[in-house]
Amino acid sequence: MKKIIFSCMTAMLALSATAQDFQGMAVYESKTSTADFQARMGENRDITPEMRKTIEERMKSMFEKTFILNFNKSASIYKEEEKLETPGQGGGGRMRMMTSFMGGGGTYYKDVKTKMYTVDKDFLGKEFLVIDSLPKLNWKMESETKKIGDYTCYKATAIVPASKSDFRNFRPKRKDEEKKDEEKAKADKAKADSEKKTNFMDEVDMPKEITVTAWYTPEIPVNQGPESYWGLPGLILEINDGKTVVLCSKVVLNPKDKVVIKAPTKGDKVTQKEYDEIVIKKMEEMREMQGQGGPGQNRMQIRMN
């Protein structure tokens, strides 16, 4: 711990001369494991090898992304790197809908002084502006260290609530849970409906909490990080929640081209709780419409608009 404090003080002194206009840029590679879902696909006899290959390619484009974090001493913006869409990667209705459930692109703005964040979300064709307090993260400081690039990083862990509107937190249901759900459904639905198992939402579960491991460097003394993560005595260079890994691949301090770090302003203003409730409601609508065999996505878009 003394070593961490000393490193922090040294870095802060090094940056003090340029504190007024200090700015940095970090590139992060985000990768979410899809092994569980791929295993479940292998159990589904209705999915052909060609279909499986197409789904895996589209899932890779959804779950492997590059993000840019621009930050100063008190605020940051985190945004997906803009890329041209690969031909054939537009995807079918279900994939486009899954992308919407992941919240689209958007800019995530954090102000650690006011402890507020703002993020714009494009959900099923409608723009939302989520404004809320930064989550309080009770970090447990560890003594373990490792190198990420040229920076010495320290380990910290925290238990955080799982976002109900983040598709990456979904886990495939265990077989015993699925069996219970099927038995309950038989009382209200026809046997053919349970055998079809075309409803994606019936096959996934959402944990209440997740354990995250962060690696931060006191050599860059800003308590910023990717996505909603913050509050450590140094820039977070890696986050791992057991399913998604966000790893910094490049850091540039005081770049020549400065970026305006400000909150997005477009969209209907909602709190995080209100936004989550909207997403959950649409998921339930999707469940009902798929159960009825109707074109769920089209109806959901009409209702959202």
Q: What is the pLDDT of residue 235?
A: 98
Q: What is the pLDDT of residue 131?
A: 97
Q: Nearest 5°: phi and psi at 60?
A: -65, -40
Q: Which two tokens stand for residue 64?
A: 């492997």
Q: What is the pLDDT of residue 56?
A: 61
pLDDT digits (tens, 9 = 90+) for 159-195: 998 776 776 666 556 555 545 555 555 655 554 454 4
Q: What is the pLDDT of residue 104?
A: 56
Helix (H, G, I), strand (E, B) or coil at 263: coil
Q: What is the pLDDT of residue 288?
A: 74
Q: What is the pLDDT of residue 69?
A: 97
Which residues does the chain have with pLDDT short of 70? 1-20, 34-48, 51-61, 83-105, 164, 167-206, 290-305
Q: What is the pLDDT of residue 207?
A: 72
